[in-house]
Chain A
Amino acid sequence: MKVWAGPLAISAITLAGLVAALLLDGPLGDGAGAVGLGVPTLALAWFLRPARHNRPDARLRSCSRSAAGSDPS
């Protein structure tokens, strides 16, 4: 079930936003639509961001710095 939590949450927000935009007049409806599609778009922007901390060389540098910091000499 844990694997479905994220996709279900994003899908629920998307569907609620799309339907609310169809039901609500004026800026409220426009805002609901923007939230409904804005959340998945922002989530993708976050997931696809360049992640330096994932690169092996970055991890290595991080470990080296830690080791250097703990060196008593």
Chain B
Amino acid sequence: MVPHPETASVEISTAPGADDPYDGLHQTRFAADGAVLTDGPPPGDAVMTFLLRLHASLLTGLPGEIFLALIGLVFLAALVSGVVLYAPFARRMAFGEIRRSGSRRLRWLDLHNVVGMVTLAWAGVVGATGVMNGMATPLFGIWQIRDVAPVLAPYVHDAPVIPTAPLSAAIAAATRAVPFSEVSFVTFPTHLYGSPDHYVVWVKGRSKLRAQMMTPVLVDARDGHVAFVAHMPWYLRALELSRPLHFGNYGGLTLKILWAALDLFTIAVLASGLYLLLSHPRRRAAPGAMEAAEAAEAAEAVEALRLVEGRA
């Protein structure tokens, strides 16, 4: 994707020292014609940042991420169990039919089945990609330990160098090393998520799909030659593709609105599932009144059968 010359911009983020953390950055953003657009601390939306951290890790970092990945697996298991249970209930009904003349519980059961089956594919995609996103930190850790750390080991004790190779030459070398790519961002020599002797040029593909896939290229900061192309393994490619499929931010405003609508429908499925669980006759009955509960359940089944037979 070629950026539009009128909307393209370049951001430069600087810190006092090469190894200083990212929480004290100064950011300057330039338009394509060189005009300064913003200059100061990086703009951020505190509310959205908080919500994202809450959603991704329950504000607890890695333990929260792992916990939410496990919750995602439970959610997927619930979807599978719902599919298994759907056929016996819906065998004698039309798809999308909701029995409005039966008991309230029967109506909620039909609502749960219909909304659940219609949103099943979307919920499955969001659940599976959520599990992948929850595992992001461990997956990146595996890649760094197995593939990146051995390459950076000879440089790890060096002080961050002051680059002498031009940045434009480093970018050109990196995009030549990875065909059909363009630069996304560059990290100057540092020990934080980089190398003290190299630029790390992060390139991405040019198509909409490949633009989701990043490849870091280490370029020597002294002479500008490519030292290492850190091709990512399949599980990180899957993780990169799972991000847009989880957040729904890749198809314009219409997709986002429909995404929000399906979110609400999925909440309705979860709420109706809880209602059906808590209102189950056996659950409501006292220990001594099990026979009465079974009788009520049988009466409900007979009522459901009668309604279906009447329609058939």
Q: A residues engaging B (CB < 8 A)?
A: 3-7, 10-12, 14-15, 18, 21-25, 29-30, 32-34, 37-38, 40-41, 43-44, 46-48, 51, 54-56
Q: B residues engaging A (CB < 8 A)?
A: 1, 86-87, 90-91, 95-98, 100-101, 111, 114-115, 117-122, 125, 207-209, 212, 241, 244-245, 250-252, 254-255, 258-259, 261-262, 265
Q: Kindly provide the distance from the CB of B117 to the nearest chain A CB, expressed in whole angstroms.
A: 4
Please give 16 more A-B residue pairs, beta carbons under 8 A apart, in addition to A18-B245, A33-B250.
A3-B87, A3-B90, A10-B117, A12-B121, A14-B125, A18-B122, A18-B125, A22-B241, A29-B208, A33-B252, A33-B254, A34-B258, A37-B122, A40-B119, A44-B115, A48-B115
The reply to whether B115 and A11 form a contact with Cβ atoms under 8 Å apart is: no
Could you tell me the distance between the alpha carbons of A37 and B261 in the complex, rounded to whole angstroms?
9
Complex contacts, B209 vs chain A, CB 8 Å = 22-23
One of B91, B100, B121, B251 near A21 (C-beta < 8 A)? B251
Given the interface contacts A7-B117, A40-B118, does A56 sit within 8 Å of B258 by beta carbon? Answer: no
Could you tell me the distance between the alpha carbons of A56 and B100 in the complex, rounded to whole angstroms?
9
Q: Kindly provide the distance from the CB of B257 to the nearest chain A CB, expressed in whole angstroms.
A: 9
Q: Kindly provide the distance from the CB of B3 to the nearest chain A CB, expressed in whole angstroms.
A: 13
One of B1, B97, B117, B244 near A22 (C-beta < 8 A)? B244
Residue of A with least CB distance to B245: A18
Complex contacts, A33 vs chain B, CB 8 Å = 250-252, 254-255, 258
The reply to whether B251 and A30 form a contact with Cβ atoms under 8 Å apart is: yes
One of B91, B95, B118, B208 near A5 (C-beta < 8 A)? B95
The reply to whether B118 and A43 form a contact with Cβ atoms under 8 Å apart is: yes
Given the interface contacts A11-B121, A22-B241, A47-B98, does A40 sit within 8 Å of B262 by beta carbon? Answer: yes
Would you list 23 pairs from A and B whose C-beta atoms are within 8 A, ordered by A residue? A3-B91, A4-B87, A6-B117, A7-B118, A7-B120, A11-B121, A14-B125, A15-B121, A21-B251, A22-B245, A25-B208, A29-B208, A30-B251, A33-B252, A34-B258, A38-B258, A40-B118, A41-B258, A41-B261, A46-B96, A47-B97, A48-B115, A55-B100
Given the interface contacts A18-B125, A30-B255, does A44 sit within 8 Å of B265 by beta carbon? Answer: yes
Could you tell me the distance between the alpha carbons of A36 and B207 in the complex, rounded to whole angstroms?
21
The reply to whether A43 and B100 form a contact with Cβ atoms under 8 Å apart is: no
Complex contacts, B208 vs chain A, CB 8 Å = 22-25, 29
Could you tell me the distance between the alpha carbons of A12 and B250 in the complex, rounded to whole angstroms?
19
Q: Kindly provide the distance from the CB of B49 to the nearest chain A CB, expressed in whole angstroms.
A: 25
Complex contacts, A7 vs chain B, CB 8 Å = 86, 95, 117-118, 120
Complex contacts, B250 vs chain A, CB 8 Å = 21-22, 29, 33
Q: Kindly provide the distance from the CB of A12 to the nearest chain B CB, expressed in whole angstroms.
A: 8
The reply to whether A6 and B100 form a contact with Cβ atoms under 8 Å apart is: no
The reply to whether B121 and A30 form a contact with Cβ atoms under 8 Å apart is: no
Q: Kindly provide the distance from the CB of A56 to the nearest chain B CB, expressed in whole angstroms.
A: 6
One of A25, A34, A41, A54 near B100 (C-beta < 8 A)? A54
Q: Kindly provide the distance from the CB of B83 to the nearest chain A CB, expressed in whole angstroms.
A: 8
Q: Kindly provide the distance from the CB of B58 to the nearest chain A CB, expressed in whole angstroms.
A: 27
The reply to whether B258 and A44 form a contact with Cβ atoms under 8 Å apart is: no
Complex contacts, A34 vs chain B, CB 8 Å = 251-252, 254-255, 258
One of A23, A32, A41, A56 near B262 (C-beta < 8 A)? A41
Q: Kindly provide the distance from the CB of A57 to the nearest chain B CB, expressed in whole angstroms.
A: 10
